[in-house]
Amino acid sequence: MNAVLLSADLPYWAISLLRVLGGLVAVLLPAGTVVYLFLFKMLSFMQSRLGPMEAGPYGSMQLFAEVGKWLQKEDIVPASAQPEARIFKMAPLIVLASTFLLVVVVPFGPDAWFTNFETGIFYALAVSSVSVLGILIAGWSSANKYSLLGGLRAAGQLVAYELPMVLAVIGVVIQAGTMNLQEIVVAQNAGSMFGWDGLGNPYVLTQFVAFLIFMISVQAELSQTPFDMPIAESELVSGYMTEYSGFRFLIFFIGEFATAGVFAMIASVLFLGGWGVPFSWFGWTTIDSIDNWMNVAGPLILFAKMMALVFFIMWIRFSSPRLREDQLQRFAWKVLIPISLVNIMLTAVLKVAF
């Protein structure tokens, strides 16, 4: 993709625009459809039912049927939310934009990336917290007691679990010595554990504590069970989403699944070696010696790893009960944060020692 675009004599903005459009249409749209179907089928099978079967073969076109249905639904802004109607309508878009912006830094292959920021993971952590704003706005502007409670709970939860997540990532940054996601991928696949490079050095093995903390924080950031107090259906009737209807509700709903997918992608880049396979298998040493076909195979490998992680996120979601609000905060501040601080120091000591 890169070579073809660069050979044509285009200005920089056109190249980057084509890159984004190509990536969105060719990679993210099909991937989104597949992941969406996979999740729906998975949760249906867990509940001993078939799931979507009508739209397309085995319900494969369910996402499009869903969009087609929700497009025809009335868009209701409650009377009490009318003074804030503009930001009420804006909130789902902010949440969606946060998800879109997260994809920017994920590398899909040796040359297949949207951007190659030096501070990639830093950017991802910063952008991921933008969704808090959307959720707070949604909760506040709904002028509904449930929504307000849900919005505040969501904000409190995202704030509490952002910290262990950031601190867990530092462990990876120490090991890789860089914040560039592409270089983190290379460092994992070109690395070796105690001199043995058959598997590279996937940080899920050497940073196991950080991986666990990261996945727990992701679960909480996405408000998935067991951390779904902000959108608890049985107490808060979906919290900040209570007053949303029609397509705006669907944006929240799809945004939730999409964010799960994107976070799983980032987790697989940080801990599972991203798009790469251990370089020793093919005799590669640096990123420049990688064969060109990895640009095609890379995204597929990344998606396979991402699906596995999404499966775990959803598995826990569909099979565990809800925590209490005070238990959630206690768990973050008194367990996860001290552990992740100790993990940082331990990683640093080992890094300097070896």
Query: Are the C-beta atoms of residues 76 and 245 closer than 8 Å to each other?
Result: yes
**CA-based angle 205:207:211, to the nearest 5?**
95
Query: Are the C-beta atoms of residues 210 and 171 closer than 8 Å to each other?
Result: yes
DSSP H or E stretch at residue 114: none
To another protein, the closest distance from the beta carbon of 167 in angstroms equals 6
**CA-based angle 341:345:348, to the nearest 5?**
140
Across-strand partners of 196? 193
CB of 20 or CB of 205, closer to another protein? 20
> What is the largest distance, in Å, between two alpha-carbon atoms of the chain?
67
Site for another protein in 62-91 (CB under 8 A): 67, 70-81
| Spatial separation of the C-alpha atoms in residues 107 and 90, rounded to whole Å | 30
| Spatial separation of the C-alpha atoms in residues 180 and 236, rounded to whole Å | 40
To another protein, the closest distance from the beta carbon of 100 in angstroms equals 4
Give the SS3 label for residue 193: strand
To another protein, the closest distance from the beta carbon of 92 in angstroms equals 7
To another protein, the closest distance from the beta carbon of 166 in angstroms equals 5
Among 31, 124, 174, 218, contact with another protein (rule: CB under 8 A):
174
Stretch that binds another protein, among 35-43, 99-107, 187-195, 266-274 (CB under 8 A): 99-107
To another protein, the closest distance from the beta carbon of 40 in angstroms equals 20
Tell me if 92 contacts another protein by CB under 8 A. Answer: yes
**Residues with Cβ < 8 Å from 303, sequence gap 6 or more?**
31, 34
Tell me if 12 contacts another protein by CB under 8 A. Answer: yes
Please count the other Cβ atoms lying within 10 Å of the Cβ belonging to residue 283. 7
CB of 134 or CB of 274, closer to another protein? 134
Tell me if 259 contacts another protein by CB under 8 A. Answer: no
Query: Are the C-beta atoms of residues 103 and 60 closer than 8 Å to each other?
Result: no
Among 243, 260, 265, 268, contact with another protein (rule: CB under 8 A):
243
Site for another protein in 26-65 (CB under 8 A): none
CB of 208 or CB of 334, closer to another protein? 334
Tell me if 133 contacts another protein by CB under 8 A. Answer: no
| Spatial separation of the C-alpha atoms in residues 316 and 226, rounded to whole Å | 8
Site for another protein in 295-354 (CB under 8 A): 325-326, 329-330, 333-334, 337-338, 341, 344-345, 348-349, 351-352
Tell me if 289 contacts another protein by CB under 8 A. Answer: no
| Spatial separation of the C-alpha atoms in residues 240 and 155, rounded to whole Å | 11
Total of chain residues touching another protein, rule CB under 8 A:
80
CB of 41 or CB of 153, closer to another protein? 153
| Spatial separation of the C-alpha atoms in residues 116 and 182, rounded to whole Å | 7
Tell me if 194 contacts another protein by CB under 8 A. Answer: no
Tell me if 269 contacts another protein by CB under 8 A. Answer: no
CB of 3 or CB of 352, closer to another protein? 352
Among 38, 122, 311, 312, contact with another protein (rule: CB under 8 A):
122
Task: Tell me whether the omega of the peptide bond preceding residue 226 falls within 30 degrees of 0, making it cis.
Answer: yes
| Spatial separation of the C-alpha atoms in residues 313 and 264, rounded to whole Å | 8
Tokens of 19: 């890159």
To another protein, the closest distance from the beta carbon of 285 in angstroms equals 19
Site for another protein in 140-159 (CB under 8 A): 140, 142-148, 152, 155-156, 159
CB of 3 or CB of 79, closer to another protein? 79
Q: 């998800």: which residue's tokens?
A: 99
CB of 40 or CB of 146, closer to another protein? 146
